[in-house]
Structure 1
């Protein structure tokens, strides 16, 4: 029997930062088939032939209704999500540009704007747990969460918790 070829899947996620260093966290819907009730960042799968940043803009808009400025990747998390499926999760630092958070209820049922320490006791999806421990908490003193100078922000819209 021939070996089955491994499928590689790329997903992009947004760490959407406010000027006060809070970022958007969403909770996967309790009725969702994939990781219900776990906290996540907006984002999703990059379609074949799609540019990573274009996919991230699309996913953020679909999942939250927000417009973001995408800066640079800050974390890569990879794992085998099946015997022949290698998943890569790339998290980008982003700035909030505009819009009101409007969740797609079939995917996410809650959100809040928080800081790394707000996530410690929550059930986190695997890549967010890795990001929290390897980057956000570990490098908090080094300004990893800083938004680049001159970033465009509209700060009056998001309310959340």
Structure 2
């Protein structure tokens, strides 16, 4: 059984834990999720499609990520999730956290923080090894292609990512 730490509204660990995906959170309690914008040298972004049998958002496109396990740091979780879902291995020297947001959903009893990381790598589609039980398909997409998916409602959390997609530079450096 996997456990997640519970955080307070300031993103501090409370010392309490929850069972993964047990959506019975109290107001003011949060869990932590990570996402990874993985860019190749041409600036294309690795996107994955959720399995058809997923209970929530089947066949929708997204960027790799997942829940931060109890006792795990955000940086550790994003490296683990990227490796599990894509077979790609990065170090934190190849990436950085570029955005954090908080979502409050008291009606759903699912409050969370999301840390979004950006990684740049010298990889090709042939290097990607998807996690068969989580991922249906993958592709390298331009920010414009992701925008088209987002406008159609086929890309998860597009409104949260839109401003992060077209970033300057081609090597992870700010222009």
> Any conservation in 2 of the 1:31–1:106 contact (CA below 8 Å)?
no
Could you tell me how far 1:5 is from its partner in structure 2?
4.8
**Could you state the TM-score of these two structures normalised by the residue count of structure 1?**
0.75
The Cα of 1:46 is off from its aligned counterpart by: 0.7
1:5-154 equivalent positions in 2, closer than 5 A: 5-70=27-92, 71-83=95-107, 84-96=109-121, 100-122=127-149, 123-126=154-157, 128-132=158-162, 134-137=163-166, 140=167, 143=168, 146-148=171-173
Tell me how far 1:39 sits from its aligned partner. 0.9
The CA RMSD over aligned residues, in Å, is 2.5
- Cα distance 1:135–1:5, how it changes in 2: closer, same or farther (>3 A)? closer
Q: Post-superposition shift, 1:145? A: 6.5
CA distance in 2, matches of 1:82, 1:30: 28
Query: What is the alpha-carbon distance in structure 2 between the residues aligned to residue 130 and residue 74 of structure 1?
Result: 12
> How far, CA to CA, are the matches of 2:36 and 2:103 in structure 1?
19
Please say if residues 34 and 117 of structure 2, whose CA atoms lie closer than 8 Å, have aligned partners that are also in contact.
yes
Paired residue secondary structure (1:53): helix
Taking structure 2 as the reference length, the TM-score comes to: 0.70
Q: Could you say which structure has the greater relative contact order, defined with CA pairs below 8 angstroms and 6 or more residues apart? A: 1
Number of corresponding residues: 141
Check whether the contact 1:136–1:144 (CA below 8 A) recurs between aligned residues.
no
Gaps of 5+ in 2: 1-24
Within 2, Cα distance between the matches of 1:36 and 1:81? 21
